Structure formats: structure tokens, C-alpha cells
Copies of this chain bind each other. A is one copy, B any other.
């Protein structure tokens, strides 16, 4: 079922949303590439073509692979002065020039998408007030949690959920370091060095390890959860720089895992937001968040507990969140594709037999020589390869448990039929699929 005549979909967009991109670093180039790559998919889904028409960078001479040179400009006024540009995407970072750019963009009638958590946490009140006065949007899904759509979920799905507590593991660098420490891969300094080598920590990691990055994100989450502006000045935070291996080990002895936790609470109509290392009980869902993964844990009296997890802010994930914001803006300017049925394709089904799966099987067999050879032979005849096996004898019977490598289901079940027919088999084997 489609949202418009199929022909309309196929031949192109109903409208074009023109984008000015401020910054072409890791994030900016990721946004550009994603828009290029998903152009047809987005047109099919929304009827709108996203088109980056100008890219702001300081140095026009640097080679920028994949970016047509004519899109580049070092003149911001050529972007805000272009009446055809609907959306300005700010991925420069910082709270100085970025503030001026966002402010001017709003004043010039543009909607703004930004990934800039510090800008919002420090100076968001001014910008949001301006956007409100001018009937323009600021969207910022990418500012918190990478590709985890936590902003949309809290703003749009949790209006009547009674959220009173938001816990976040919202900084991938520190969670990577703490995971490495907990796994015995070194003390704080060693784990930090490892994270830097692998690109999980910046050469200057201060912003992350001090808790400042997490504090800005928690200010944003708290503002949305409790519908009251929380700025950096309202957030108390501590980092992980002074954590020792001894502390991590002793925490383990008490049944805890050490995490850098952002905690935003609504208590008796007042708000408390802070970031600090905390001992998390081993059976708490947040304790299982490993490496650079992010997680946001919401508690509310209507929803009980909901948790969203996903990779921290890498280039692709942040780009995905920014593009989803741009699409949302498109959705407010065009036919209501977000309300319409989203099934506009007609894909074929694949019969399950054709989909490879690893299998577990358990079968009772007579405990005598050659049995295993017969069973292995039946699998070999169908090209099924055995990954691991347990055999346990009981009197003259044995229980054989096998896990296979991924294999086509039809071949596997032909092998099972053959095995079930062997005189040494007592009953049909039990089979279960393995999630691969």
C-alpha cells in the first residue's frame, strides 16, 4: 500500500527541502553522504527530496572527496541569505560561532538541526525562545545518545508517562574506559590510552572524562523529561579521572559495577540533575551496558521502566539522527506522510527454509560404536557442519546434543529426517534454532 500513486513515487519527489550544512568534518560529511545514499528511499517514504545546496567551511582549497566543489562556501551570509534554503544543519560545535550561526539562521527564517549539546545546554534557553517567537524549529536528536531516538521518544511518546527519573550512560568514552577497567584490562591511565588508540577517546579527553559532556546531555534530557529548562549551571558533575582499580574491584565484591551515571530526578516538584561515577547493582539493566554503548533508562509511574540502548555518537549514528530530524521538519511542511500508512513497497517473502540458521539438536541414541558416525554422516550428506557437541551416557543409551554452523533449513531438516529414521535413534530429535 502506498502513500501516493506508485508512478508519482517512482518519478520523483513532490517537493524539495533545501539544506545549508555548516561544517564538513566527520559529522557533516556523514550527513551529506547519508542524504545522497538514502535520497531515493527518503523520497519514497516522504515524497520529499532532501538536497544539500550549500556547505560552509573555512578553507575552500582543502580537497573534500565526494563533495562537489560548487557547493562549498566560506560565506555564511550566502546561506542565510538564500531564500530557498529551508533548513540549516549546524555541526561546527562550540558555543561561540555556532550560537551566532544558529541565531542568525533562525532570524533569517530557517529551521535548525544541530548536534551541539554544549550549545543547547549552555545557551539553549535563548535559542529556543527565539525559535518560538519566530515560529521556527530547532531539532537536536543527535545531541544525545547517537542514533538512539531518545529526544523524540521523550517528547512525543512520554507525554502522559509520568516520568520522574532519567538515568543515562550517555558518554561512550567513559563507559569504554570503565568497562576496560572492570574487565581487568588495566587501570584508569591504561584504559584511557587503549581508548585513545582505538578512537574511543579524544587526544584531549577532558570534556569526556570530567563528566562535562555527560552533564550537557543530562541537562537536555532533564529539560525534556520534566518540561522545565535545565542548564549546565544546574548540573553538578564529577568525572572518572580519580577512579582506581581497587574501587572497581571492591565494588565488584559487593555486587556492583562502576558506571558514569547521569541522574535526573523530579522529587516533590523540584529537579535534581547530576553526573558522577556510581555503583550500579549487577542485576540492574544499566550494569550490562558495555564499551562505548549508550543507554537511557526512564522510570515513570505509568510506564514502569523503559530503556533504550545503542552505539554512542559515531559519525554514522549522529548523521542518522540528524537526517531523521531533517525528515521530521520535512514532515511538518508537506503532506502528512508521518500519519499515513508506511507500506509503500511490495516486497516478496522468502520461505523460511531458504534462510540459513544455526541449529541446536538433542537426540537419544543407543550407546554403541558407530552411532556418531551415522549421525555425522547424515549431516554431511546435506552439507550441515557441526560446531560443537556434548554426549552423555545413561546405561546403554546416550544423549547427544549438537550445535551446527548456520545452514539452510531445508537441508537441515532432511538430515533430521534421515537421523530420525536411523535404527539407533530413540525418537525424533528435538531441534531449536540458534540466533545468529
- B303 & A311 in contact (Cβ 8 Å cutoff): yes
Q: Is A339 an interface residue (CB 8 A)?
A: yes
- B435 & A270 in contact (Cβ 8 Å cutoff): no
Over the window 261-272 of chain A, the binary record of Cβ atoms lying under 8 Å from chain B Cβ atoms (1 yes, 0 no) is 101011101111
- B430 & A258 in contact (Cβ 8 Å cutoff): no
Query: Within residues 290 to 342 of chain A, which ones have a CB less than 8 A from any CB in chain B?
Result: 302-311, 314, 316-317, 319-321, 323-324, 327-328, 331-332, 336, 338-342
Closest B residue, CB atoms, query A137: B339
Query: Within residues 216 to 235 of chain A, which ones have a CB less than 8 A from any CB in chain B?
Result: 223-224, 226-230, 234
Complex contacts, A148 vs chain B, CB 8 Å = 306
- B271 & A348 in contact (Cβ 8 Å cutoff): yes
Cα A226 to Cα B343 in complex, Å, equals 8
- B343 & A317 in contact (Cβ 8 Å cutoff): no
- Using a Cβ–Cβ cut-off of 8 Å, how many residues does chain A contribute to the interface with B? 126
- A302 & B324 in contact (Cβ 8 Å cutoff): no
Which of B45, B131, B303 makes the CB contact (< 8 A) with A310? B303
Q: Is A125 an interface residue (CB 8 A)?
A: yes
Complex contacts, A156 vs chain B, CB 8 Å = 149, 152, 324, 327-328, 331, 338
- 7 A-B pairs besides A161-B324, A304-B317 with CB distance below 8 A are A35-B160, A41-B159, A158-B324, A159-B323, A254-B403, A303-B310, A303-B317
Interface centre among A167, A280, A309 (most CB of B within 10 A): A309
Closest B residue, CB atoms, query A353: B236
- B360 & A147 in contact (Cβ 8 Å cutoff): no
Q: Is A413 an interface residue (CB 8 A)?
A: no
Q: Is A64 an interface residue (CB 8 A)?
A: no
Interface residues of chain A: helix, strand, loop or mixed (majority):
mixed
Cα A41 to Cα B280 in complex, Å, equals 32
Q: Is A204 an interface residue (CB 8 A)?
A: no
- A167 & B320 in contact (Cβ 8 Å cutoff): no
- A307 & B306 in contact (Cβ 8 Å cutoff): no
Cα A162 to Cα B302 in complex, Å, equals 32
Q: Is A355 an interface residue (CB 8 A)?
A: yes
Complex contacts, A373 vs chain B, CB 8 Å = none
Cα A132 to Cα B147 in complex, Å, equals 30
- A274 & B352 in contact (Cβ 8 Å cutoff): yes
Q: Is A366 an interface residue (CB 8 A)?
A: no
Q: Is A368 an interface residue (CB 8 A)?
A: no
Minimum distance in angstroms from A198 CB to a CB of chain B: 16
A-B contact pairs, 6 of them (CB 8 A): A1-B129, A45-B227, A132-B340, A147-B161, A159-B323, A284-B435
- B352 & A236 in contact (Cβ 8 Å cutoff): yes
Q: Is A345 an interface residue (CB 8 A)?
A: yes
- Contact flag A320-B303 (CB < 8 Å), given A3-B132, A45-B159, A348-B271: yes
Over the window 350-380 of chain A, the binary record of Cβ atoms lying under 8 Å from chain B Cβ atoms (1 yes, 0 no) is 1110110000101000000000000000000
Q: Is A253 an interface residue (CB 8 A)?
A: yes
Q: Is A390 an interface residue (CB 8 A)?
A: yes
Closest B residue, CB atoms, query A233: B349
- B256 & A347 in contact (Cβ 8 Å cutoff): no
Complex contacts, A342 vs chain B, CB 8 Å = 155, 223-224, 227
Complex contacts, A149 vs chain B, CB 8 Å = 153, 156-158
Cα A354 to Cα B261 in complex, Å, equals 18
- Contact flag A141-B160 (CB < 8 Å), given A147-B304, A247-B362, A270-B348: no
- B304 & A270 in contact (Cβ 8 Å cutoff): no
Minimum distance in angstroms from A393 CB to a CB of chain B: 15
Cα A341 to Cα B319 in complex, Å, equals 22
Cα A132 to Cα B319 in complex, Å, equals 31
Cα A320 to Cα B306 in complex, Å, equals 12
Complex contacts, A25 vs chain B, CB 8 Å = none
Cα A231 to Cα B54 in complex, Å, equals 44
Complex contacts, A339 vs chain B, CB 8 Å = 137, 332
